[in-house]
Chain A
C-alpha cells in the first residue's frame, strides 16, 4: 500500500502547484482588467522599431 502514499504525495503536490499558480495569477493582477489583454493580442506587432 506504500504506492498509495506515494500517489497521495504526488496528487497533493500537483494540487499545491495549482494553488500556488492561482495565488500568483491573482497577485499579478490578471483578474483586474479582463478587456485590454484580450484585445491587445490582436494588435499588429510593431515593425518600425527605432
Chain B
C-alpha cells in the first residue's frame, strides 16, 4: 500500500466550523455525535480492527462501526471530549484519511433498493404456501376430497394471492403505468394485463365454485420475474457511477483575510477572495496567482501529463493541482462559474436524453398483438359454436401467453452477463449498458491514463555510461524532490545509499541541483542545464550534468497498456475508432500505426472539445462508446451512448459513467463487446424456446381445456428451464470469449 504523506497541520481546520459539521453529521444530541466518513484506504480485516478500536487512541470516541463493502466508518463520539476535527486528524495519523469532498455538502438521501427484496420475500412466502395448498387439488379427483376442505383451501389460496397481486406485483405496475403515460407500450404492460386477467379469472372460479383458479401459476411467475429483476438490478456497493466535479473538490479552502487564515466552505468563496492553496491541493476556482510558486498539474482538466509552470499574475484554472509548495490565489471566477464546472452546467446538455428503448419492449409489443389476435379469433370461433366457452378459453390464452417468458429470459440473461463481466472487472451500471455496448459503432479513446498507463512510464538513459556512485548520487538528489519526473528518475537509479545532500536547491519547472559526496549533480530541463536540444521528441526529458559536464539525458516515455496494440487491431475491423487526447501530437505516428488509416486522431483537446466531438459523432448517427479516465473526460463520458471510465484500482475515483473498467482489463474490450452482443442472441433463443411451451399451452387453451394441473406443470417447468438455459448459455459464452 502506498504510504500517504503526512497531512498538513490545519488540513481539517474547516471541520471546526459549526455549519460544515451540521451538514456532515447524521445525528447529534446533547452528548453524542454520529458521523459517517468515507475512508478509501480500508482494504483488509486489520483495517477493520484498527478503526473499530479508535477509542483507544482517542478516548472521546464512543464507538466505530465499519461498513467494509462501502468503505465507510460510522463514528460515534462525545463532542464534549473530542471534536470532528480531532477525530479526522487521528484517522489521518493512522493512515485512514477520511475523504471529504464538496459532494458531501449536498448529500442526497440514499434511495434504498430494499423494496424489491421485500416484494420478493412476500411473493416467495405466498407462492410456497399456495403450492402446498394446491397439491390436494392436483392429485384428487372431483369428490375425492371432503367438500368443505377444498373450499377452505381455495379461499386460503385466494387470501394468499392478495399480497402478491397488490404488493409484490407493484414492481411491474409502476413501469407499465409510466410507459403508458409516455404513450409507449413496454413489456410490463402485457404482463400486468396477464396478472390481472389471471387474478380475475381465478377469483371468478373460486367464488362461483367452478374451480381452484390459477393462483399457483400467477404467484409463481411473479416470483420468478422478481428474482430476475433483482438479479438484473444488482448494485455494486463501493462503486459509484455518478460522481461529478463536486466529488473531486475539497469541501473547504483557506481564505486569507487581513493576514489571518480562515477555513471557508467552498460555495461561500467569492470573487476577490484570496485563497491559500497548499502543496498537493486542488485549485477549486479560477484565479490569478498573487504569491508563491505555481507548478500546476492540469492532467485532471486537460489530460496533459506534464505539469505547467505559472508565473505571478497568470491565470490558474480550477481543477489544477499545485505541486510546488504553497501559493496565493485571487479568485476571479467563483466555483460555480469556473471553466471546469461550467462543463457540467452547459444549458444545451441540461436535458437528459431519453435512453433508447430496449429491443425487449418492441418484441413484447409484437408478441402482444399476436396473442390478442389469437384471443380474438378464439372468441369469435367459440361465439359461433359454443358461447359458454368464450370466457374460459380467452382468459386461458391471455394467461398462458403472457410475455413473461420474454421478460424472464431478458432479466436473467442480463443478470448473468453483468455478473460475468464483473468477474472480469467490468462493472456496468445497469442492463441498458449491455445493449448500449452491443450497439456500438464508434469507439473513442482518451490517451493519457487510458491507452497509456499512469504508472507505466519507461525511463531510458541516453548518454555516457554512469558509474554506480554517480547513479547513487542522482538517486539521492531526486529523492529530495516530489516532482513526477524526479520520481521516475529515482526509480530508474535505484535506492539511494545516502541521503546527505549539501546545498540542495530546486527551481520549480526547471530542475534541481545539489552536492553528494563531493560530486555536483544538476538535473533538469534543457534550458536549466544548458544542454543541446536532442531533436524533436515526444517524451519528457531530464538532462543531467555531473560536475558541470553534460553526461546525457533521461528519456521518460509513457508506454501503452498491455495488449493495447492487439486490441486496437481487432477493433478497427468492426468499428470506427477515434482518439482524443489533451496531449501534444508527439505520439501521433505510433498511434496511427496502431489504430489504422481510418482512425481519427485529435490532439490538444480540451475537455469541451472532447464533449463537442462526441456530440458531433452522435449527430451523425453513430453509437458512441467513450473510454476515458479523468475528470477531463467526464463531459464526454456523459454525452456518449456508453461511457466507460477506467480505474487503476478499485479505490480510484472515477467520473460519472455507464460502467467502470479496471484498467488492466482494457485489452479485453473486444471480447466484452462481443459478449454483450451474444447477450441479445441468448435472450432471443430462450424466447423462441419458451414460445414452444406457449404453443403447447395454447393448444389446450384454445380448446378451453387448460386444467389447473397442466398450467401448474407448464408454468414452473417453463420458467425454470428458461433460468437454467440462460445460465448455461451465458456461462458458456463467457468462458468462450473471456478466458
* A-side contacts of B69, CB under 8 Å: 32-35
CA gap between A50 and B128 in the complex, in Å? 52
Stretch touching chain A among B117-125, B271-279, B676-684: B117-125
In this assembly, does B547 line the interface, its C-beta being within 8 Å of a C-beta of chain A? Answer: no
> In whole angstroms, how far apart are the Cα atoms of A24 and B283 in the complex?
47
Min CB gap A32→B, angstroms:
7
- Interface pair A36/B67, CB less than 8 Å apart: yes
B156 CB within 8 Å of chain A: yes
Segment among B45-53, B97-105, B299-307 that sits at the interface with chain A: B45-53
Chain B binding surface, main DSSP class: helix
A4 to B146, CA, bound (A): 12
Alpha-carbon gap, A16 to B12, bound state (A): 51
A1's partner among B114, B117, B129, B146 (CB-CB below 8 A) is B146
- Which of chain A's residues have a CB closer than 8 A to the CB of B114? 26-27
Answer yes or no: B149 CB below 8 A from chain A CBs.
yes
Taking A5-B152, A15-B128, A39-B45 as contacts, is the C-beta distance between A23 and B68 under 8 angstroms? no
Closest to B118 in A: A23
Q: How large is the interface on A (under 10, 10 to 19, 20 to 34, 35 or more residues)?
A: 20 to 34
B146 / chain A contacts, CB cutoff of 8 Å? 1
Query: What is the minimal beta-carbon distance from A41 to any residue of chain B, in angstroms?
Result: 11
Question: Chain A: which residue is nearest B55 at the CB level?
Answer: A46
Smallest CB-CB separation from A5: which chain B residue? B152
Contact of B121 among A4, A19, A36, A40 (CB under 8 A): A19
Residues of B within 8 A of A34 (CB): 69
Asked whether A26 lies within 8 Å of B117 as measured between CB atoms, the reply is yes
Q: Which of B49, B125, B156 is close to A8, meaning CB atoms less than 8 Å apart?
A: B156
Nearest Cβ on chain A to B470's Cβ, whole angstroms: 50
Query: Quick one: which of B48, B70, B121 contacts A39, CB cutoff 8 A?
Result: B48
Whether A12 is near chain B, meaning CB under 8 Å from some CB there, is yes
Report chain B residues within 8 Å CB of A35. Answer: 45, 48, 68-69
Distance to closest chain B CB from A35 (angstroms): 4
Main secondary structure of the interface of A (DSSP, over half): helix
A32→B472 CA distance, assembly (Å): 51
Question: Which residues from A are CB-within-8-Å of B129?
Answer: 11-12, 15
Looking at the assembled complex, report how far the CB atom of B376 sits from the nearest CB atom of chain A, in whole angstroms: 41
CA distance A42 to B129 in the complex (A): 39
B152 partner residues in chain A, CB cutoff 8 A: 5
Q: What A residues does B49 contact at CB under 8 A?
A: 43
Tell whether B66 is near chain A: CB-to-CB under 8 Å. yes
Q: Is the CB of A33 within 8 A of B118?
A: no
Within 8 A of A (CB), among B54-102: 65-70
State which residues 5-49 of A face B: CB under 8 Å: 5, 8, 11-12, 15-16, 18-19, 22-23, 26-27, 31-36, 39-40, 42-43
Q: Is the CB of A43 within 8 A of B70?
A: no
**Is B66 touching A36 in the complex (CB atoms < 8 A)?**
yes
Q: Does B237 contact A (CB under 8 A)?
A: yes
Docked CA distance A34–B237 (Å): 11
Q: How far is the CA of A32 from the CA of B72 in the complex (A)?
A: 12
Point out the residues of chain B lying under 8 angstroms from A40, CB to CB.
Answer: 48, 52
Check B68 against A33 for contact (C-beta < 8 Å): yes
Q: How long is the Cα–Cα vector from A43 to B52 in the complex, in angstroms?
A: 10
Closest 8 CB pairs of A and B: A35-B68, A39-B45, A19-B125, A36-B68, A33-B67, A22-B121, A33-B69, A26-B117
What are 22 residue pairs bridging A and B, where the CB atoms are less than 8 Å apart in the complex? A1-B148, A1-B149, A5-B152, A8-B156, A11-B132, A12-B129, A15-B129, A16-B125, A19-B121, A19-B122, A22-B121, A23-B118, A26-B117, A31-B117, A32-B70, A33-B67, A33-B68, A33-B69, A35-B69, A39-B68, A40-B52, A42-B45
Interface of A toward B, CB cutoff 8 Å: 1, 4-5, 8, 11-12, 15-16, 18-19, 22-23, 26-27, 31-36, 39-40, 42-43
**Beyond A36-B48, A36-B65, 15 additional pairs, beta carbon < 8 A:** A1-B149, A4-B149, A5-B152, A8-B156, A15-B128, A19-B122, A23-B121, A26-B117, A26-B121, A32-B69, A32-B237, A33-B68, A34-B69, A39-B45, A40-B48
